[in-house]
Chain A
Amino acid sequence: MPRESERPRRVTVRRTGPLLVEGPVEVVLEDGSVVCSRRFTVAICTCRRSRAYPWCDTSHRRRVGTAETRSDERRPDERRTDEGKAEP
């Protein structure tokens, strides 16, 4: 999609979700490696829980379950306490 260079790139901030950046986007990670997404909009993880970091994979969502299921030991990566809230 053509995008005029004089038009600022829009970044949309949401309190409880990812940062939405008009694509394509390159992200430089802490170790210096560079990853690129060419999507029209790119969702960048801000909760740091994503398993596809730096891209959002919806891991910020509030997890619901009983106390019993919360202590489930089968999948350690699924046992995260969650302070996040579902978005309005």
Chain B
Amino acid sequence: MTATSGTRPDTPAPSPPLPEPRGALSAAVVGALRGTHAVLPPARETERADAYGEDLHLALYTLYELHYRGFACVDDRVEWDPGLLRLRGDLERRFLAALRADLPPGGDVAEAMAALLVEPVMDDGNSVSHFLQDEGQLGHLREYAALRSLYHLKEADPHAWVIPRLRGRAKAAMVAVEYDEFGAGRAEDVHARLFADLMTDLGLDPAYGRYLDAGTAEALATVNLMSLLGLHRSLRGALVGHFAAVEVTSSPGSRRLARAMRRAGAGPAARRFYDEHVEADAVHEQVVRHDVVGGLLADEPHLAPDVVFGIEATGLLEDRFGRSLLAAWRAGRTAPRRPLGPPPVRPGPEGRSRDR
């Protein structure tokens, strides 16, 4: 591994462009990465920021992105810039404090998990997958996919960071699930790749980071939670709880989304992504619950409150995201911040675009 991006024999995977700032915090981060902004906001400024607002979340998302794919024209080494890490820490503290304040304290793992393991007989009016299944138009599905692409194009990446922090049963099980997420040794089956194919089927641009400017605060926050929990060893219990919550709720939701894709006449790749998740996540749920969560708590029982926090924080942010989508759609508005634009021009017979 090298710290700098030297010349390589083949074309390196392209990094996305920097996003457009949405306020003082994100402007400072983008400016610092461009090299046009020398002074970063002090802690008292982040303490006043809206903990769920789009300025804070875009600033945080942009700082986290340095640990994934970086940005075009930004030196890869700024990932470890002490000033940016200090700012990231301030933003994280603000976000974490809000989550802890908004979630009920205590609760045990079995109870938190049991609440996820029941299926509503019918939609209570707050479920995005029920809405899409029952009345979703192709336009809704495109918007949903564009916003979710902020995560799915790096699906399972934030969770890989927890691996060296686990041991024994929890580690073996976590790696097994991640292996499945990463295509079980086949590049064409990597879930992020299946999602890129889904986007192409829906007439979206599958380029990594393409819809960051379209991403709402609620959408960004769901991904920031994963990055936050993944990057901090001290939050490993919460990362595991979060991962369990995602895997437990994915299978029935994916079934509804697969139906929505069929109803709206989406192509085969769009249907395949959700069909795959119905079956895969029915397995992952069992393995994560019994071996990853069970193994971690056998090893480190004092992390139980953190596991609960991870489960509950995921629910809180997913609910906020869902409500924001449904509020927009029911009012006849588009959910993303920006129009998604027409489908990208397909490349020639050389094949479909790899992520540009």
Residues of A with Cβ closer than 8 Å to B?
14, 17-18, 20, 37-43, 51-52, 55-58, 61-65, 69-70, 72, 74, 78-79, 86-88
Contacts and interface: CB of A to CB of B under 8 A. Distances in A.
B121 A70 contact: yes
Chain B interface extent, by class = 20 to 34
14 contacts: A39-B184, A40-B176, A41-B176, A41-B286, A42-B283, A43-B286, A57-B251, A57-B252, A58-B251, A58-B281, A64-B118, A69-B121, A70-B121, A78-B122
Interface string B101-128: 0000000001000100111111000000
Given A57-B282, A62-B118, A69-B121, 7 more contacts: A37-B279, A38-B184, A39-B180, A39-B184, A57-B252, A57-B279, A61-B252
Contacts of A41: 176, 283, 286-287
A62 B114 CA distance: 10
B285 interface: yes
Given A58-B282, A58-B285, A86 B117 contact: yes
Contacts of A62: 117-119
B122 A88 contact: no
A55 B281 CA distance: 11
A40 B184 contact: yes
Contact of B122 (A14, A43, A65): A65
A65 B114 CA distance: 15
Interface string B226-253: 0000000000000000000000000110
Contacts of B287: 20, 41
B320 to A, nearest CB: 22
Contacts of B184: 38-40
B114 A43 contact: no
A43 B180 contact: no
B52 interface: no
B161 interface: no
Contacts of B280: 39
B144 interface: no
Q: Which of A52, A74, A79: most chain B CB closer than 10 A?
A: A52
